Amino acid sequence: MLMITALLAFGCGTTSNTPEPNRNVSNAAVKTAAVVPAFTYDIVNTYPHDPAAFTQGLIFHEGFLYEGTGGQQTESKKDDFFSSLRKVEITTGKVLERHSLAPQYFGEGIALLNGKIYQLTWREGTAFVYDIKGFKPIQEFRYSGEGWGLTEDGTDLYMSDGTHVIRVIDPETFKTKRTIVVNDERGRPLMQLNELEWVKGEIWANVWQSDEIMRIDPANGKLLGRIDLRDIVESETKENRRADVLNGIAYDEAGDRLFVTGKMWRRLFEIKIKPKQ
C-alpha cells in the first residue's frame, strides 16, 4: 500500500491491474475542457503525527482524531507495522486508544456514523464496524473489489475503490445504492480516488500519488475544485525520508477546521483553504 519497501510497493492502491485513465483525448475534448477552480491554503497550525502510522483514513470527532492505518505484520516487523484503528490526541499526536487488526488484514479508510466506526480493508473484501466507545467490534460486512477511502454524509457511506467511481453504501447492509462517476476537466476518468472526507456538502478526495485534494459534487461527480498541497508535501518529504504520499483529510464541522497529513508523516497540518491567485 512487510518491509518498508514492500509496503510502499503495495500500499493503498499500488495494484498492478488498476485501470489507467484513458489518454486518447480528442482535440475537440481538449479545446472544450471545463474550467475547474484552483485553490491553495494557509497553514494555521502544525501538530505532531506518528511517523510509523501508514495513514489510510482520518476523521475528527469531539476534539479528537480517529485514524485508520495500514500494514501487515511479519516476523521482522511485529511491533509497529500493522493495521490499526486509533484515537489520537491532536495537540501531542499521542495514541490514546488502539485496536489492531488481525495480521491478514490491511486496513484502509474509516468513517464515523451513528456512533459506529466503519473500517475498510484493502484486498480482503471485509469492512469492520466498531462501537466508538472502546472500539468494541460490532459487525463485519463483505464487499466486492478493493477498499480505499470512506466517508459519510450523516445518512449514507461513500466508498472509493481505487478507480474513478465512488460507491454510495447503505450503512445497515453495506450494499451499493448508487455510484458516482468522477471525471477530470477533459472528461477522462479521474483514477485512484483515495481517502475521502465530507466537507460542507462536498466529497473531498486524496488521489493516490497526487499532491492535490479534489473537490467533488456528490450528486453528479462533477469536479468542483483542485486544492494544491505541493508545498506541504515537499516540506514534509524534505525533512522526513520515510514520508510517503499525501493521504488523510479530517474536517471539524463545528470549528470549521481542516486537517491533512500523509502516510508515515511526522506532522499533521491544520490549513485554511483559499482561492489560488
Predicted confidence band of residue 221 (pLDDT cuts 50, 70, 90): very high
pLDDT digits (tens, 9 = 90+) for 126-149: 999 999 999 999 999 999 999 999
pLDDT digits (tens, 9 = 90+) for 38-95: 999 999 999 999 999 999 999 999 999 999 999 976 655 555 568 999 999 999 999 9
> What are the cell numbers at 268?
499533521
d(CA 52, CA 226): 28
Other beta carbons within 10 Å of 4? 13
Can you give the pLDDT at residue 277? 87
Question: Domain 4-12+36-275 sits in which CATH superfamily?
Answer: TolB, C-terminal domain (2.120.10.30)
- Comparing 207 with 18, the larger pLDDT belongs to 207
Predicted confidence band of residue 24 (pLDDT cuts 50, 70, 90): very low
Predicted confidence band of residue 20 (pLDDT cuts 50, 70, 90): very low
Strand, coil or helix: what is 184? coil
Calculate the average pLDDT of the chain: 89
The pTM for the full model equals 0.87
Can you give the pLDDT at residue 176? 98
Radius of gyration of the chain (CA): 18
Number of H-type helices and E-type strands within the chain: 3, 20
CB 116 within 8 A of CB 131: yes
d(CA 259, CA 271): 6
| Amino acid in position 174 | F
Q: Considering only CA atoms, which of 165, 227, 219 is closest in space to residue 191?
A: 165
Measured in whole angstroms, how far is the alpha carbon of residue 11 from the centre of its chain? 12
- Comparing 209 with 2, the larger pLDDT belongs to 209
CB 65 within 8 A of CB 22: no
Q: Considering only CA atoms, which of 159, 132, 113 is closest in space to residue 66?
A: 132
Going through 62-211 in order, the beta strands assigned E by DSSP cover 64-69, 84-89, 95-100, 107-113, 116-121, 126-131, 137-142, 150-152, 157-160, 165-169, 176-181, 193-199, 202-207
Where in the chain are the domains? 4-12+36-275
Can you give the pLDDT at residue 43? 98
Predicted confidence band of residue 34 (pLDDT cuts 50, 70, 90): confident
pLDDT digits (tens, 9 = 90+) for 134-188: 999 999 999 999 999 999 999 999 999 999 999 999 999 999 999 999 999 999 9
Asked if the model's pLDDT at residue 204 lies above 70, the reply is yes
d(CA 268, CA 261): 5
As a whole-number percent, the residues of the chain with pLDDT over 70 amount to: 86
